[in-house]
């Protein structure tokens, strides 16, 4: 599995497709941290960053999964011994890229952005929220990638529409049971995140798992 993930990462890095979501990531971080965050306000910043960067994580995952020509996926499936290995390998490579992007998003404000270093508890919560954001973003990116959505135009609509729908639905009273982006931003603002994190993590990971399972199922007939 590791050689397959490395092949996909090498193809992605050399294709320069990484540049698009990286520009998106840097642009958003510049907006987030254009004015210095006062002491004690680090967690609300991390909450917003994790929730808004989902679209960047999804974009990166979609780009990675679309890098290979369709026929190369067929070759990789036979080389890896089983189609499921190729499909899971793609998701793992996308997760690796997104872990790198999330690490950058967490680390950057520590250098420029925060006026004081956050406490270890807030830092841990910030990392946890980014992990949730990248997992749901990866699932969204996979579901809007070309093997699933055949036309590039529809794929972009699925990506941005999917994110917008997630964001808007999380504003409704049922938001806590969907992907709770707004609830986690609010909790990070009001200082209640520590208490509600298990519930938020459970809901986010459940929907991530549903998205990934749907992707794996759909890919069976869409090699």
Partner 1 sequence: MGWKRVITVVLPAMRLSKVSFRYSRRGPWVLRDVELAIRPGSVVEVTGRNGAGKSTLLRLLAGIVPPSKGSISERPRVVGYAPDVFPVDQPFTVTAYLTHMARIRGVSPGAMERLAERLDAAHLLEQPLGDLSKGSAQKIGLIQSLLAPPGLLILDEPFAGLDAHTRTELPVIIGEVAAAGGIVVVSDHQNQLENFPGADHWLVAGGTVAVEAGERLRQAVIEVLVDAEHADEVEQKLRADGYTTRRTA
Residues that bind partner 1 (CB under 8 A): 3-4, 6-7, 10-11, 14-15, 68-72, 74-83, 220-221, 223
Which of 151, 113, 159, 141 shows the shortest CA–CA distance to 215? 141
Report how far residue 167's alpha carbon sits from residue 158's, in angstroms, rounded to the nearest whole number.
14
Please identify, using beta-carbon distances, which residue of 15 and 189 lies nearer to partner 1.
15
Rg of the chain, C-alpha, whole Å: 18
Residue 97 Cβ vs partner 1, minimum distance, rounded to whole Å: 16
Question: Least Å distance between CB 209 and partner 1?
Answer: 22
Tell the smallest beta-carbon distance from residue 87 to partner 1 (Å).
11
Give residue for tokens 């006062």. 38
- Comparing CB distances to partner 1, the nearer of 43 and 143 is 143
To partner 1, the closest distance from the beta carbon of 13 in angstroms equals: 9
CB of residue 146 to partner 1, shortest distance in Å: 14
Instruction: Give the single-character DSSP code of 150.
Output: -
Contact 51, 186 (CB under 8 A): no
The residue among 17 and 130 lying less far from partner 1, judged by its C-beta, is 17
Give Cα 182 distance to the centre of its chain. 16
| Residue 199 near residue 208 (C-beta atoms within 8 A) | no
Shortest Å distance, C-beta 94 to partner 1: 17
Q: How far is CA 123 from CA 40, 201, 205, in A?
A: 11, 16, 20
End-to-end, the C-alpha distance of the chain in Å comes to 18
- 84 or 192: CB nearest partner 1: 84
For partner 1, give the closer residue by CB, 75 or 209. Answer: 75
Which residue, 80 or 125, has its beta carbon nearer to partner 1?
80
Question: What residues pair up with 37 in beta bridges, in sequence order?
Answer: 114
Closest CA to 198 of 98, 127, 128: 128
Six token digits for residue 62 = 């979609």
């Amino acid at each position: 599995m590791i050689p397959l993930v490395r092949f996909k990462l090498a193809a992605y890095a050399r294709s320069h497709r990484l540049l698009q979501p990286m520009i998106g990531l840097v642009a958003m971080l510049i907006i987030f941290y254009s004015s210095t965050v006062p002491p004690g306000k680090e967690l609300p910043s991390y909450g917003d960053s994790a929730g808004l960067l989902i679209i960047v994580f999804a974009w990166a995952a979609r780009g990675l999964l679309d890098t290979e020509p369709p026929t190369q996926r067929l070759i990789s499936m036979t080389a890896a011994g089983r189609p499921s290995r190729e499909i899971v390998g793609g998701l793992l490579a996308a997760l690796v890229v997104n872990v790198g992007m999330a690490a950058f998003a967490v680390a950057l404000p520590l250098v420029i952005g925060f006026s004081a270093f956050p406490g270890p508890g807030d830092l841990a919560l910030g990392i946890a929220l980014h992990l949730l954001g990248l997992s749901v973003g990866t699932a969204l990116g996979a579901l809007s990638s070309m093997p699933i959505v055949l036309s590039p135009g529809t794929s972009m609509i699925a990506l941005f529409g999917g994110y917008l729908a997630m964001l808007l639905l999380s504003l409704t009273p049922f938001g806590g049971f969907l992907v709770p982006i707004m609830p986690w931003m609010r909790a990070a603002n009001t200082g209640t995140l520590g208490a509600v994190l298990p519930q938020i993590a459970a809901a986010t990971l459940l929907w991530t798992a549903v998205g990934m399972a749907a992707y794996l199922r759909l890919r069976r007939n869409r090699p």
